[in-house]
Structure 1
Amino acid sequence: MERCIDDEIPFEIPDSWEWVRFYNIASFQNGDRSKNYPNRNEYVSNGVAWINTGHITSDGFLNVNTMNYITEEKYNSLSNGHIQKGDLVYCLRGATFGKVARIEPFSKGAIASSLMIIRPFDVSLRNYIYWYLRSPIAYIELHKYSNGSAQPNLAAKDVGKYLVPIPPLDEQIRILNESIRLLAIIENI
Structure 2
Amino acid sequence: MPNSWCWTRLDNIITVRGGKRLPKGEKLLESPTGHVYIRVTDMKNNSVDLNDLHYIDDKIYREISNYIITKDDIYIVIVGSTIGKVGIIPNELDGMNLTENAARLTPYLVDKEYLLLALQTEYLQRQFLDKTNQVGQPKLALIRLKTSLIPMPPLEEQKRIAQMYKHLLLPVSDL
Once the two structures are aligned, what percentage of the paired residues are identical? 26
2:159 matched to which residue of 1? Answer: 173
From the two aligned structures, give the one with the greater strand fraction: 2
Partner Cα separation in structure 1 for residue 49 and residue 26 of structure 2: 19
State which of 3, 18, 21 in structure 2 corresponds to 1:30: 18
Q: What do the CA deviations read for 1:35-66 (whole angstroms, capped 9, x no partner)?
A: 368523x45423111001111112x1111111
1:116 matched to which residue of 2? Answer: 103
Instruction: Count how many residue pairs are aligned between Structure 1 and Structure 2.
Output: 171
2:138 matched to which residue of 1? Answer: 152
| TM-score, length basis structure 1 | 0.81
- Could you tell me which runs of 5 or more consecutive residues in structure 2 were left unpaired when the two chains were aligned: none
- Are positions 1:162 and 2:159 aligned together? no
Contact 1:22–1:160 (8 Å) recurs in 2? yes
Distance 1:102 1:172, change over 3 A: same
State which of 82, 87, 94 in structure 1 corresponds to 2:68: 82
Judge which range, 176-185 or 139-148, deviates more: 176-185
The one-letter code of the counterpart of 1:29 is R
2:9 matched to which residue of 1? Answer: 21
What is the deviation of 1:170? 1.8
| TM-score, length basis structure 2 | 0.86
Partner Cα separation in structure 2 for residue 103 and residue 49 of structure 1: 12
Q: What do the CA deviations read for 1:141-163 (whole angstroms, capped 9, x no partner)?
A: 11221121763220111110010
